[in-house]
């Protein structure tokens, strides 16, 4: 007789509602979600990603598929019943209190997620798709796994990567050398995050002061990455510059994360880059092609694309 054990999915849906919202700064809103099933929410920490399924006007969350194959079921729905899906980062998870925090960038009512966040209030319902504590195997969904022997960590990103980078930085062991560069819309968006000993965080506001013309997106971040890598000087032992396959950020997803095996001929630097896809692509090209950092030591993720929605 064969006994079939049900496969417990690594990710599952969690119906939740807003417990509270807190405006962190001009561009960041922290939404704390709560739900009776969040005791089964497994956060791996680091840059843990989740999906947020947003309510449909007039229908709310009634159409959200509850079964394990939620995505197949969602795709099988008529388009007008498919709740918009967006990817976010777990800023903090407290399953014992049935709570998950997500920090939303408010970029106007141009997208369903940002528009929803701008109006969010206690009691509003959404569905999260997140890691399942009942799954015996790894639940994954995070990309932070630098080789242990890396001597220097470089984390760079825009405002959409701030929640991930802050969560990573707060979990780094003391004494780990980390250079952190964060480009944000305004000076008010420099959040309070504690850098570990050995870490240095630089906030790069595109708009330095009210009324001042903002710098173009990516310019400050790119300049800061170039300067940070130059400052590494002797700590960097470059590999021969590598050719990189071009990625069309308008039609492909920009995403490549090396595993945690130290790259052969590793330069001692591990870079984690996330944000607007074209900016991230240029940063990666600089590190790998111009500086000679082994491409297997550079994790890069296009979190969003200017002018294109995430559908």
Ligand X SMILES: Cc1cc2nc3c(=O)[nH]c(=O)nc-3n(C[C@H](O)[C@H](O)[C@H](O)COP(=O)(O)OP(=O)(O)OC[C@H]3O[C@@H](n4cnc5c(N)ncnc54)[C@H](O)[C@@H]3O)c2cc1C
Binding site for ligand X (CB under 6 A): 49, 86-89, 103-105, 107, 110-114, 159-160, 163, 303-310
- Write down the least CB distance from residue 290 to ligand X, Å: 26
Nearer to ligand X, 53 or 232 (CB): 53
Residue closer to ligand X, measured from CB, 13 or 89: 89
Q: Which residue is nearest to ligand X (CB)?
A: 111
Closer CB to ligand X, residue 84 or residue 292? 84
Q: Rounded to the nearest whole angstrom, what is the least distance from the CB of residue 305 to ligand X in the complex?
A: 6
State the Cα–Cα distance between residues 172 and 148, nearest whole angstrom.
12
Nearer to ligand X (CB atom), residue 14 or residue 303: 303
**What secondary structure does DSSP assign to 160-229, as a single string?**
GGHHHHHHHHHHSPTT--EEEEEEEEEGGG----PPPTTEEEEEEEEE-STTSPPPPTTHHHHHHHHHHH
Tell me whether residue 36 or residue 140 sits nearer to ligand X (CB atom): 140
Smallest separation (angstroms) from ligand X to the CB of 128: 12
* Shortest reach from residue 105's CB to ligand X, in Å: 3
Minimum distance of ligand X from residue 31's CB (angstroms): 10
CB closer to ligand X, 70 vs 304:
304
Shortest distance in whole angstroms from residue 150 CB to ligand X? 22
Closer to ligand X at the Cβ: 2 or 110? 110
Minimum CB separation of residue 195 from ligand X in Å reads 19
């Amino acid at each position: 007789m064969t006994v079939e054990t049900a496969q417990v999915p690594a990710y599952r849906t969690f119906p939740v509602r807003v417990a509270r919202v807190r405006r962190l700064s001009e561009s960041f809103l922290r939404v704390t979600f709560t739900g009776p099933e969040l005791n089964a929410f497994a956060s791996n920490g680091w840059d843990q990603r989740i999906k947020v399924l947003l309510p449909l006007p007039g229908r709310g969350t009634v159409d959200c598929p509850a079964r394990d194959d939620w995505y197949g079921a969602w795709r099988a729905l008529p388009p007008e019943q498919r709740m918009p899906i967006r990817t976010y980062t777990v800023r903090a998870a407290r399953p014992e209190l049935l709570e998950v925090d997500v920090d939303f960038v408010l970029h106007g009512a141009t997208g369903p997620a940002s528009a929803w966040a701008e109006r969010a209030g206690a009691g509003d319902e959404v569905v999260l798709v997140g890691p399942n504590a009942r799954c015996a195997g790894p639940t994954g969904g995070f990309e932070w796994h630098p080789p242990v022997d890396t001597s220097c960590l470089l984390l760079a990103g825009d405002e959409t990567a701030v929640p991930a980078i802050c969560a990573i930085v707060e979990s780094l062991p003391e004494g780990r050398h980390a250079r952190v560069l964060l480009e944000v819309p305004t000076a008010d968006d420099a959040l309070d995050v504690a850098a570990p000993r050995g870490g240095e965080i630089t906030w790069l506001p595109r708009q330095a002061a009210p009324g001042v013309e903002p710098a173009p997106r990516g310019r400050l971040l790119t300049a800061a990455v170039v300067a940070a890598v130059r400052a590494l000087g002797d700590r960097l032992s470059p590999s021969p510059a590598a050719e990189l396959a071009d990625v069309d950020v308008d039609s492909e997803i920009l995403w490549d994360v090396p595993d945690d095996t130290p790259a052969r001929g590793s330069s001692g630097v591990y870079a984690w880059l996330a944000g607007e896809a074209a900016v991230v692509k240029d940063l990666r090209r600089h590190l790998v092609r111009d500086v000679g950092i082994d491409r297997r030591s550079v994790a890069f993720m296009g979190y969003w694309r200017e002018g294109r929605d995430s559908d």
